[in-house]
Amino acid sequence: MSIINYASKEIQFKIVYYGPALCGKTTNLAYIHSRINPDNRGDLVSLATAADRTLFFDFLPLNAVVIKGFKTKFQLYTVPGQVIYNATRQLVLRSVDGLVYVADSQWDKMEENVESFKNLEENLAKQNINMDDIPYVLQYNKRDLPNIAPTNYLEFLLNNRKKRVGSYEVVSSTGQNVFAALNAVSQLLLHKFNKESEPTRAAGAPAAQAAR
């Protein structure tokens, strides 16, 4: 759930990177961290095991541009992909505003991709969130590897819901399309924020309406 603070003039949004184990969620955040000016981001916090597997989550706070005097802040989280950590995934999903689903394009990961996507739907349902209501995009990661499924097959597996979403061919290790996916989801959630503020503006802010 986004928070708008009129005192500090900030709007906060939470974006979660979700996907099966070793699909490249942490690599996405590491690339974003390495490419954003330090003035516009905080530290990348990783709670990982000695073998660099995400144990709890990774976290990266970003400051986007100032709009009408308000700082727009995005908080990026990853979840641990390993199946056993489902309770942790549910915790990280708490008050999520937008999602990037990271799929591993390798043929032998298809079952895990589908399983993890199903797990995401179930975990969102526990928070009374429907996949059709939350802004999300799909990443088909590891497009540089040799044994990968074609994108139309991945689309068939993961993007065949009534509402089709944006999907990106990504190589998170080199950064290809990492920012394209992040910007796509951030714009989707800003549009949703606008849409949700419509009824309150109509009912509670005649002056603001007249000024439009």
CB of residue 210 to another protein, shortest distance in Å? 12
Smaller CB separation from another protein, 37 or 152: 37
Task: State the pairing for strand pair 136-141/167-169.
Answer: parallel
Smaller CB separation from another protein, 69 or 146: 69
Question: Is residue 126 near another protein by the rule CB under 8 A?
Answer: no
- Give CA–CA dist 117/186, Å, rounded: 20
Which residues contact residue 165 at a Cβ distance below 8 angstroms, ignoring those fewer than 6 apart? 136, 137, 138, 159
- Give CA–CA dist 200/44, Å, rounded: 36
Question: Is residue 1 near another protein by the rule CB under 8 A?
Answer: yes
What is the phi/psi pair of residue 168, to 5°? Answer: -130, 135
CB of residue 37 to another protein, shortest distance in Å? 5
Chain positions 129 to 148 lying near another protein, rule: CB under 8 A, are none
Q: Which two tokens stand for residue 157?
A: 């597996």
Chain positions 70 to 89 lying near another protein, rule: CB under 8 A, are 70, 72-75, 77, 87-88
CB of residue 115 to another protein, shortest distance in Å? 23
Which residues contact residue 67 at a Cβ distance below 8 angstroms, ignoring those fewer than 6 apart? none
CB of residue 156 to another protein, shortest distance in Å? 30
Question: Is residue 210 near another protein by the rule CB under 8 A?
Answer: no
Q: Select the residue interacting with another protein from 53, 155, 166, 175 (CB under 8 A).
A: 175
CA dist 168 to 101, 138, 151, Å?
10, 6, 9
Q: Contact at 8 Å (CB) between 205 and 212?
A: no
Smaller CB separation from another protein, 153 or 173: 173
Distance of CA 206 to the CA centre of its chain: 34
Give me the residues that bind another protein (CB under 8 A), please.
1-8, 11-12, 14, 32, 34-37, 40, 42-43, 45, 47, 56-57, 59, 61-62, 64-65, 67-68, 70, 72-75, 77, 87-88, 91-92, 94-96, 127, 175, 179, 182-183, 186-187, 190-191, 193-194, 197, 200-201, 203-205, 208
